[in-house]
Structure 1
Amino acid sequence: MDYTTILVRVENRVATVTINRPEVRNALARETYGEIASAMAELGARKDVGAIVITGAGKHFSAGGDIKRFKELIDTGVYLDPNQILRADAMATAIRECPKPVIAMINGTATGAGLSCALACDFRVVSPSSKLVMAFVNLGLSGDTGSIYNLMRLVGPERAELLMMTGEPCPGEECVRIGLASQLAEEGHLAEAAYALAAKLAAKSTDAHAAQKRILRQFFYDRLEEYYAKEALEIAWCARQPDFAEAVNAFLERRPPVYNREG
């Protein structure tokens, strides 16, 4: 299958899906969500694939949503629609329901929806310089692509609320300490560590992995559809509030946002 915003390769039973928009720090275009979902379905069905690595081209995993597109929505009065959010959620579902183990190899920064992509994976491998940022609140948004759901599963309510309500970066070593990441690689050896884990997983039974992931989906990720519906409504509401426009304009103008607290 031909893709425009991702690259896919398979070698030694390990597939690599690379978000390929390094000029914008791999911000997720509208096409990217569907392409990653399609890649998960394609690779999940291939007999020559035993594990999948998702990463970003260049220095960063993904900067998340395309803020320039947010600016266009604000200027034209076209708001985020819940159905658009549900299409983004489909990417997270495709990763979670892929029968093969999926590893996020987080080079540089994973922000917002980029972090959501990583959180939907089975494992996250980071280095000390990696930074994971639940940055939605910094744009006046609640979160999308299953971010809060998966974050709560990984680190529990208190740490999840701290990360999502402050929007502050979590460095690699801290991510591993709190359970947000699975493995800490030595600086400069991220790919080596991620592909060693992928090779170990790819050598195991794909049938057993598929069964294990079906059990996890049914009993531990069993309210995803209900969550997605609520998530889409809330972020669409946030996108219609003045704080969203102020946060986006402030980001593009490289200044702190000034929210109106009167009235």
Structure 2
Amino acid sequence: MTKVLSTTDAGILTLTLDGPDSRNSINPDVYRAVRDHVVNAGQDPEIRAIVVTGAGGFFSSGGNVNALRDSANGPLSAVNSNTDYLNAMIRAIADCPTPVIAAVEGGAAGAGVALALACDMIVANAEARFTVAYVRVGLSPDGGVTHFLRAALPRQLVNELCILGRPATAERLAQFGIVNEIAEPGEVLNSALTLAGKVAAGPASAIRSIKHLVNIAADSELCTHLWAEADHINQARFGPEAAEGLSAFLDKRKPDFRKI
């Protein structure tokens, strides 16, 4: 059984999937644990960034195949309940006001890909393989995989990944902007924590507004989105972050948002 380990340092919450016997496969217990950690972190002003990673040099192999097969012997209601937990985890990450960064060492498969894609940024080593392998076991993707991929990739490439089940390296996905940073093997978590540190040092309220605006942009008409942006920036003008940031710019010094 994969456990979800949590540590907090310098305003960064790190969640580690730890299931060495299954390459960190995930199940409803993991879905609930990750969701709870993320929801709580989003409500904690001391947590300014979240990193999700996997132990043992691999991110996550996704759902346990034995469990998936055995689920066909149970009621549909149980299957729907498990899917609800997966979707709740994905929504918690997407909706969390605090930025979430995936540190993908080795690779990710199935629902592990969904977990990585739900994060706001991805750091991976160049040869890390992202495999949407549902088709190989007679299934279609879940956890928002097709939603996230189609938002970033051409339709033909998404079909290649999902219909053929071909793995894509992080280096290839970086060409399309899905992977933000490429790190050396074994240094992915350190690189992700460095990136998280930059986020944590930034203006927390402004960053939360940015994440919200980016999330709603694709579904907003221009006029509606202009008003949303105007509301956020005009509210921010009167806040302490803008006071510090603008004063620092004019004083030609580095702003210190952590003191706010």
TM-score, structure 1 normalization: 0.78
Q: Equivalents in 1 of 2:102, 2:49: separation in Å?
A: 11
Q: Equivalents in 2 of 1:52, 1:167: separation in Å?
A: 30
Question: Which aligned pairs between 1:2-151 and structure 2 lie closer than 5 A?
Answer: 5-74=3-72, 76=73, 78-79=75-76, 81-151=79-149
Mark the runs of 5 or more structure 1 residues left unpaired by the alignment: 223-263
Structure with the greater alpha carbon radius of gyration: 2
Q: How many residues align?
A: 218
Q: Work out whether residues 59 and 112 of structure 2, in 8 Å CA contact, stay in contact via their aligned partners in 1.
A: yes
**Secondary structure of residue in 1 paired with 2:175:** helix
1:94-138 CA distances to partner (integer Å, 9 max, x unpaired)?
000111111100011210001000000001111023111111111
- The equivalent residue for 1:229 is none
Q: Equivalents in 1 of 2:5, 2:177: separation in Å?
A: 29
Question: Which aligned pairs between 1:163-242 and structure 2 lie closer than 5 A?
Answer: 163-220=161-218
1:7-55 CA distances to partner (integer Å, 9 max, x unpaired)?
1111011110111212211100211111111111111112221111000
Distance verdict in 2 for CA 1:221–1:46, change over 3 Å: farther
Question: Which aligned pairs between 1:145-164 and structure 2 lie closer than 5 A?
Answer: 145-164=143-162
Please, what is the CA RMSD of the aligned residues? 1.8
Q: For residue 163 of structure 2, what is the amino acid of its counterpart?
A: M
**Secondary structure of residue in 2 paired with 1:184:** strand
Q: Equivalents in 1 of 2:4, 2:27: separation in Å?
A: 10
Greater relative CO, 1 or 2 (CA 8 Å, sep 6+): 1
Q: Work out whether residues 128 and 169 of structure 2, in 8 Å CA contact, stay in contact via their aligned partners in 1.
A: yes
Q: Work out whether residues 22 and 59 of structure 1, in 8 Å CA contact, stay in contact via their aligned partners in 2.
A: no
Q: Work out whether residues 125 and 188 of structure 2, in 8 Å CA contact, stay in contact via their aligned partners in 1.
A: yes
**Secondary structure of residue in 2 paired with 1:104:** strand
Q: Equivalents in 2 of 1:219, 1:175: separation in Å?
A: 22
Mark the runs of 5 or more structure 2 residues left unpaired by the alignment: 221-260
1:152-198 CA distances to partner (integer Å, 9 max, x unpaired)?
11223222221111111111211212323111112332122211111
Q: CA deviation at 1:211?
A: 1.2
Q: CA deviation at 1:57?
A: 1.3
Q: For residue 105 of structure 2, what is the amino acid of its counterpart?
A: N
Q: For residue 201 of structure 2, what is the amino acid of its counterpart?
A: A
TM-score, structure 2 normalization: 0.78
